[in-house]
Amino acid sequence: MQTQVNQTSNNIIVTENLGKSVVTSEGTLHILSSIDLIIKSGESIAIVGESGSGKSTLISLLAGLDTPSTGSISINGKQLTSMNEDGRAALRNELIGFVFQSFQLLHSLTALENVMLPLELSGDKHAKAAATALLHRVGLSHRLTHTPKQLSGGEQQRVALARAFVTKPAILFADEPTGNLDSKTGATIVDLLFELNLENHTTLILVTHDHTLAARCQRTIQLDSGCMV
């Protein structure tokens, strides 16, 4: 499934004055403030910062998983902030892929079924063939019928990568993709991530603590106490 990207502009994500705050018993807590960001199509961006700096909040806002308190986000020319949850869900289905630190595979499904799932959700008739091909591409053709419990951490993350790329998303969000892996396995996964990214011309936005990984991205956004520095 090739995603239609807005050709009129090269900017795939634009945020203006983006902010997120929550009200606590001790007053309003500003998690993110005044984030102005332009991300071009095909670009790879690393979001770095210390724990609690607002990285995960930023990625959740950009992916439409959460709603901002202030400002606006436009993805592929569409105003995310004016959409309701169902509208954002449709946009996610159309444009966005995810890779998580904790893999987020469904334990009741096999590797193949996990990869097929996003295609099945969009009604793709050739889900199985596409998923099999991608699992082959990530080196897991011999593990198709294994459930996550029967796979190692690295293998699970490879399944997650296959699931993320199987819909050929325009944007891929990766949240600490190597956070749960040892350095060697992590490096293999990162290589695979960038290879797939290149092959699919995907815009990659990844959150990481790892400066080596951040360095492989074209641009780095540093967050400190919810502000870009």
Partner 1 sequence: MSRFNLALRLLWRDSRTGELTILILALVIAVTSSTAIALFSDRMKRTMTNQTAEFLAADLVIESPAPVPAEWLAKAMKLDLAQARTADFSSVLIEHDELLLAGIKAVSAAYPLRGFLKTTTGDYLTETITRNGPEKGTAWVEKRILPALKLNLGDPLTVGEKQLTISNIISYEPDKKGDFYSFSPRVMINDADLQATGIVQPGSHVHYFFQFTGEPKALAEFKRWLKPQLNPSQRILDINEDRPELGSALERAERYLGLSSIAVILISGVAIAMATRRYTERHFNATALLRCLGCKQNEILWLYSSQFVVLGLVASAVGCLLGWFAQEALFHLLRGLLPQQIASPGLLAVFFGFIIGMAVLLGFALPPLLRLKQVSPLRVLRRELEPLPSSAWLIYGLSLGIIGILIWKYTGDLKMTASILGTGLMTLLALGLLIYGLLNLTRKLLPSMSLTWRFGLQGLFRNSRASVSQILAFSLTLVAMVLSFTVRTDLIDNWQNQLPNNAPNHFALNIFPAQRAAFQQELQLQHITGSQFFPVVRGRLVEINHTPVQQIVSKDTQGENATHRELSLTWTKELPEENKIVAGSWWNNQQAGLVSVEQKLAESLKIKLGDLLKFTVGSQQINATVTSIRKLRWDTMKPNFYMIFSPGTLDAYPSTFITSFYLPEPQKNMLNTLVKKYPGTTILEVDFILQQFKTILAQLTQAINYLLYFALMAGFAVLFAAVYATLDNRIYEGALMRTLGANRSLLRKTHIIEFSMLGLISGLLAVVISEAIIYALYTQVMDMEYRPSLYLWAVIPCTGALFVGMAGCWGVRHVLNKSSLRILREQY
The residue ranges that bind partner 1 (CB under 8 A) are 56, 59-60, 63, 65-66, 85-86, 89-94, 96, 98, 100, 102, 104, 106-109, 113, 117-118, 120-123, 147, 149, 175
Between 40 and 67, name the residue whose CB sits nearer to partner 1.
Answer: 67
Minimum distance, C-beta of residue 98 to partner 1, in the bound complex (Å): 6
Which of residues 5 and 187 has its CB atom nearest to partner 1 in the complex? Answer: 5
In sequence order, the 6+-apart residues with CB closer than 8 A to the CB of 42 are 201, 202, 203
Q: Which is nearer to partner 1, 169 or 186 (CB)?
A: 169
| DSSP strand pairing (219-224 vs 44-49) | parallel
Q: Is 47 helix (H, G, I), strand (E, B) or coil?
A: strand
Instruction: Match 């063939």 to its residue by tokens.
Output: 129
Separation between Cα atoms, residue 186 and residue 43, nearest integer Å = 22
CB-nearer residue toward partner 1: 42 or 153: 153
With tokens 């293998």, the residue in question is 155
CB of 117 to partner 1, least distance (A): 7
Q: How far is the CB of 86 from partner 1 (least distance, A)?
A: 4
φ, ψ (nearest 5 deg) of residue 74: -120, 130
